[in-house]
Structure 1
Amino acid sequence: MFIKGRGILEIGDDVIINSNHVFNPIGGQGVTSIVVDEGAKLLLGSQVGISNSAFYCTTGITIEDNVLIGGSCKIWDTDFHSLDKNIRGTKYDKGISLPVRIKKNCFHWSKLYNIKRSYYR
């Protein structure tokens, strides 16, 4: 597993994180990676299960209780870069960051992408 950043990572009770294709052969040949930038907060509720997925948090990502996240899911709260071709690649290229919330009892299967301002029930 790969964890990086100076933000806040809060993990609830009974969280299981798989980080190897041996534990979930249907998808996710990589490892679980978690990046939480300074000033950002990633909250994993209780009884959350994660397999070989990537989180990139610049503002806020909340995963509520009893959520399952399948192999190779990507959960990002940022565009990383501007969508404006005239800004992309310049010093002003910041992208937009907005929170992501995955509500309790959700199941996200293999290779699902969640991006900023997403709310799933």
Structure 2
Amino acid sequence: MILKKFFKLPGILLLRVRLSLHGVTYGSKLKGKSVIISNIGNIKIGNNVNLNSFPDGEPFKTGLQAHCKDSKISIGNNCLLNGTRIHCRTQVSIEDNCMFGPGCKIVDNDSHRTSIDVMKRREPPESSPIIIRNNVWVGMNSLILKGVEIGENSIVAANSVVTKSVPKNTLVAGNPARIIKKLDV
């Protein structure tokens, strides 16, 4: 906000400056605006990526948050993140040609420990990498949790909670997400 006030930069230029200031590397043809960035780790964005945010409230702003110095977020080429949040403590890898609907969340950790012991609850949460293969489509308001791999050409229906890996060429839906059908190639 301060940068915008002083420099009066156009949206995409402001995004590029903010990404650079946060140590994010990105390719050509980057699009987007109003992205939430928190990078203690390593964030890499490929070519022709669109980081859309919607002005009607915080839940629909794209956010890239690498919470630890060993965290790695990588977004491949030709991806569309439409009001999507990524919370990473270990690794979130999104390959090429993926699309995410508004309100999607990708979280590679439990956020906190489950224990009645206050000190144990404050220990770092359990984390496990997430891998989203080529050409995956994730419907709006879906949640992808730690340790999940989504196979190429798969679709996650809107409002799904993905707790287990998804085979390639598969449509999943529900909470927890279940296989609905195999997709024709």
Contact 1:100–1:118 (CA under 8 A) maintained in structure 2? yes
User: Which residue type is aligned with residue 4 of structure 1?
Assistant: S
Residue 151 of structure 2 is aligned to residue 117 of structure 1: no
Contact 2:60–2:102 (CA under 8 A) maintained in structure 1? no
Alignment of 1:43-54 (within 5 A): 43-54=74-85
Equivalent residue in structure 2 for 1:33, among 55, 59, 63:
63
Per the alignment, in what secondary structure is the counterpart of residue 75 of structure 1? strand
User: Which residue type is aligned with residue 88 of structure 2?
Assistant: C
**Which structure has greater helix proportion?**
2
Unaligned ranges ≥5, structure 1: 23-27
Quote the Cα distance in structure 2 between the aligned partners of 1:61 and 1:100.
5
Quote the Cα distance in structure 2 between the aligned partners of 1:29 and 1:35.
14
Give the count of matched residue pairs.
114
- Superposition deviation, residue 94 in structure 1: 2.1
- The structure with the largest alpha-carbon Rg is 2
Alignment of 1:1-121 (within 5 A): 1-21=35-55, 29-37=59-67, 38-83=69-114, 85-87=115-117, 89-91=118-120, 92-121=122-151
What per-residue deviation string (whole Å, max 9, x for no partner) do you get for residues 58-103 of structure 1? Answer: 10000010100111000011001113x234x325532201000011
- Superposition deviation, residue 33 in structure 1: 1.3
CA RMSD of aligned residues (A): 1.7
Unaligned ranges ≥5, structure 2: 1-34, 152-185
Quote the Cα distance in structure 2 between the aligned partners of 1:113 and 1:78.
12
Contact 1:21–1:52 (CA under 8 A) maintained in structure 2? no
Give the TM-score normalised by structure 1. 0.86
